[in-house]
Amino acid sequence: MSETPKPRILAVDDSRVMRRAMSKVLGSEYDVVEAEHGEDAWTHLLNDPTIQVVFTDLSMPYLDGFGLLERMRESDDPHLQALPVIIITGKDDDEETKQAALDKGASDFITKPFDSVQLRARAKAHVRFEQTSRKLSETSDRLEKQAAVDELTGLGGRRYFCKAAEEQLAYARRHGTPFILLRMDLDDFNRLFINLGKEQAEAILRQTGKTLQGLVRKEDMVARVGLAKFAMLFRDADMNDATDTARRILEGIQAMAFHINGHELHVTASIGLLEPAIDGDQTIEELIGETEIYLNKAVEAGGNQVAVKSLRKYPVEKTLSVPAAMRLLEYGHTDAILPHMQSLVSQLLPLLDFLARNLEGPAAENLATIRDRLGEGG
């Protein structure tokens, strides 16, 4: 009976000492293939589809770790796109370097000098992950499921979301129904990933998925569309309802508690909420991109908040109520308010008069002044 072959690991480092150390620690359980720089490693990867995990240093001649990672993630080969890559960092590598590696598609980190237990744990976890992924890719039914559902969070996947949202967009164009998109990012998630590690980061993502499922309506679509990126499409809801839901989501995210090393950790999120003008031929990907403009505004303003924008063209009402004017103002439709200025003043004067008569001190005097000036303008 032939023995089951050992899982194969590629160790990439320009230091022969480091390559030998990895081979010595892992050699009893894994078949370790060594490469002294990124170009050498790339040749192995192109010619050996049995490699299941890559450990690579960042600083190397010919092709460094960043270059190798970019080639793999930009490859046309789905296996190389998804292959786990563990970055070997030195103690002098700063957080910015680690974030850059994470942005380029790194799966995990290990810091040298590493101990044997840490190295074996990383290898075992990622070999198991690669084996599971490979089995999934060999079954067409499971592939369909993987495209529709994000297994980590239980939410929809990006392809599922975009396909369903395109159908909803076409319906909204035909019938003039509301179409509102939400994009949410967990704040500073790359830093959390680096500081807490993959296991704790995934626990945060799982709990985020549960929180979102508990806060949205059954008719709304919610999906994970990136590492810590989420999207939502509201069906048959106006911007007031969508904004209320977005704020409840932020409260729900902030209420999540994670107990790590004796400390309680809370996370926050930022949300961009957009009601686009859908009278053009934009694709859903383009509209998601537009929504991310407002997500970025929320992030730039400090995070843990919602940035709201409506570009929908509302019909001009003959008589505009104060609550309706407030909604138009919130969504940026100031042009629709201007024709109703005199009517709005007439509606506000009785309220200002009542407040001026029932308040005391400077506030009453200020309101009385405003009331008088508005009345003179009439």
Q: Predicted confidence band at 77 (pLDDT cuts at 50, 70, 90)?
A: confident
- How far apart CA 369 and CA 378 sit, in angstroms, is 15
C-alpha torsion sign, points 166, 153, 203, 6: negative
Q: Give the C-alpha separation, 98 to 193, whole Å.
A: 10
pLDDT score, position 252: 96
With bands split at pLDDT 50, 70 and 90, how would you rate the model's confidence at 1? very low
Query: Rounded CA gap, 134 and 127, in Å?
Result: 10
Q: How far apart are CA 224 and CA 205, in angstroms?
A: 9
Higher pLDDT residue, 261 or 68?
68
What are the structure tokens assigned to 110, written together?
A: 């290990």
- In this structure, the number of other CB atoms found within 10 A of the CB of residue 346 comes to 12
In this predicted model, what pLDDT tens digit does every residue of 261-314 receive, in sequence order?
889 999 999 999 999 988 778 899 999 999 999 999 999 999 999 999 988 765
Can you tell me the distance from the alpha carbon of 284 to that of 33, in angstroms, rounded to the nearest whole number?
Answer: 44
Name the helix (H) or strand (E) containing 157: none
Contact 35, 73 (CB under 8 A): no
Q: Which residues of 179-195 are buried (b: 16+ CB within 10 A; e: fewer)?
A: bbbbbbbbbebbebbbe
pLDDT of residue 277: 87
Q: For the segment 123-134, what is each residue's pLDDT rounded down to a tens digit?
A: 888 888 877 777
Provide the pLDDT for residue 13: 94
Q: What is the mean pLDDT of the chain?
A: 86
pLDDT of 5 reads: 84
Confidence of residue 136 (pLDDT cuts 50, 70, 90): low
What pLDDT is attached to residue 315? 52
Residues contacting 88, CB < 8 A, separation 6+: 13, 18, 55, 56, 57, 58, 65, 109, 110, 111, 112, 114
CB 331 within 8 A of CB 307: no
94-105 residue pLDDT tens: 788 888 889 889
State residue 145's pLDDT score.
Answer: 47
- pLDDT tens-digit series, residues 199-240: 999 999 999 999 999 998 888 999 999 999 999 999 878 888
Q: What dihedral angle (degrees, nearest 10) is formed by the CA atoms of 174, 175, 177, 183?
A: -20
Q: Is pLDDT larger for residue 251 or for residue 111?
A: 251
CA atoms within 13 A on the CB side of 82: 13
pLDDT at 138: 59
276, 179 Cβ separation under 8 angstroms: yes
Fold that domain 150-310 belongs to in CATH: Alpha-Beta Plaits (3.30.70)
Which architecture does CATH list for 8-137?
3-Layer(aba) Sandwich (3.40)
Residue 299 is predicted with a pLDDT of 96
The CA-atom distances, in angstroms, between 378 and each of 318, 339, 346, 347, 367 are 19, 14, 8, 12, 17
Work out the end-to-end distance of the chain between its first and last CA atoms, rounded to an integer number of angstroms. Answer: 98
Q: Per-residue pLDDT tens for 184-194?
A: 999 999 999 99
The answer to whether residue 31 scores a pLDDT higher than 90 is yes
Contact between residue 232 and residue 211 where contact means Cβ atoms under 8 Å apart? no
Cross-strand bridge partners of residue 274: 181, 309
> Which pLDDT does position 137 carry in this prediction?
62
For the chain, the structural domain boundaries read 8-137, 150-310, 322-377
